[in-house]
Amino acid sequence: MDPSLLKERDAFRKKAMATPVVETKPKKAPTKPSASEPPKKKAKVGPTPGDIHSLKLVSGSSQYRFGVLAKIVKHMRKRHQEGNLYPLTIDEILDETNQLDVGSKVKQWLVTEALPSNPKIMTTPENKYQFKPPYDLRDRKTMLKLLRKHDLKGYGGLLLEDVQESLPNCDRIMKQLANDITYIVRPQDKKKVIFYNDRTARFQVDEELAKLWRSVPVRGVDDEKIEEYLERQGLQAMHDHGLKKLVPPKRKASRGKKRNKGPKDNDHLKDVLEVYDES
């Protein structure tokens, strides 16, 4: 063998022995979980559902406060509908609603902000609270009086849900007033409206007149078109049938008092003054 090649081989061996070698182990493929093993659930951070005290400390404390307020308003409405019309203190309310465990901050919020500003709660001069209904109804007489007032003044009917919220023992009293009440269902929201049934205004209408009344189509026709049609037929339309608006009389602008023009520059003494020339 050529001696030059032997020298190159020996030099290559020495260089290879001097260079360190790092072995890389093959990576294992990820093992898939078997179907028999249940997947591991991540631990949830936060209060447990049964921990009431921790719910008061989380960021949703405002939701907890309004939940306390909603429970109070619901209880006060129920008391009013059952005929319990006397007011209660804040401690009595919390006792009856089983909420004596509320904190001092929530209680202070109820007394200073929530209850006084709530439209369904009324505060008495003794710092007590009671339910504030839409109508001041106590019994059958006050209910009948309100219906007659709305009928005479032309205010319209009363929503049944407002009456049920205002009148204690509503179902029993409404049965007693069955002959004095007429129910009408509003087409837009299907809510029942109560009107006073004035039996003194009943009269017999001739059947031919009723047929003529029903035969006239007025759907989609406003008052101006009806008035024009009546005038063409030689009939006079009724005017001023609505509520009149009282226009306050115009006040005359108060004029300032005329000042007497007095003399200027002593003109009133022009005949009395004398001139003394220095001689």
pLDDT, tens digit, 9 for 90 and up, residues 148-168? 999 888 888 899 999 999 999
Residues 167 and 188 in one domain: yes
Residues 110 and 164 in one domain: no
The structure tokens listed for 202 are 């009943």
* Number of domains observed in the structure of the chain: 2
Residue 165, in any domain of the structure:
yes
Write out the residue range of the structural domain in which residue 146 sits: 140-201
**Ranges 84-88, 109-113, 128-132, 220-224: which has the least confidence:** 220-224
Residue 69, in any domain of the structure:
yes
**Of 114, 131, 148, which residue constitutes the final position of a domain?**
131
Residue 186, in any domain of the structure:
yes
**Ranges 161-175, 194-208, 232-246, 255-269: which has the least confidence:** 255-269
Q: pTM surpassing 0.75? A: no
Closest among 129, 59, 71 to 102, alpha carbons compared: 71
Residue 167, in any domain of the structure:
yes
Residue 17, in any domain of the structure:
no
Residue 47, in any domain of the structure:
no
State the pLDDT at residue 267: 64
Residue 68, in any domain of the structure:
yes
Beta bridge partners of 159: 193
Q: First CA to last CA across the chain, in angstroms? A: 165
CA dihedral (3, 9, 10, 15) in degrees, to 10, reads 150
Contact assessment for residue 131 and residue 120, using Cβ atoms and an 8 Å cutoff = yes
| Max avg pLDDT among 2-6, 76-80, 250-254 | 76-80
**Of 201, 226, 254, which residue constitutes the final position of a domain?**
201
State the pLDDT at residue 22: 57
CATH number for the domain that contains residue 82: 1.10.10.10
**Of 110, 131, 152, which residue constitutes the final position of a domain?**
131
For the stretch 212-257, pLDDT in tens is 888 877 777 777 888 888 888 887 766 655 455 556 666 666 565 5
Residues 150 and 188 in one domain: yes
For the stretch 36-49, pLDDT in tens is 555 565 555 444 54
Residue 248, in any domain of the structure:
no
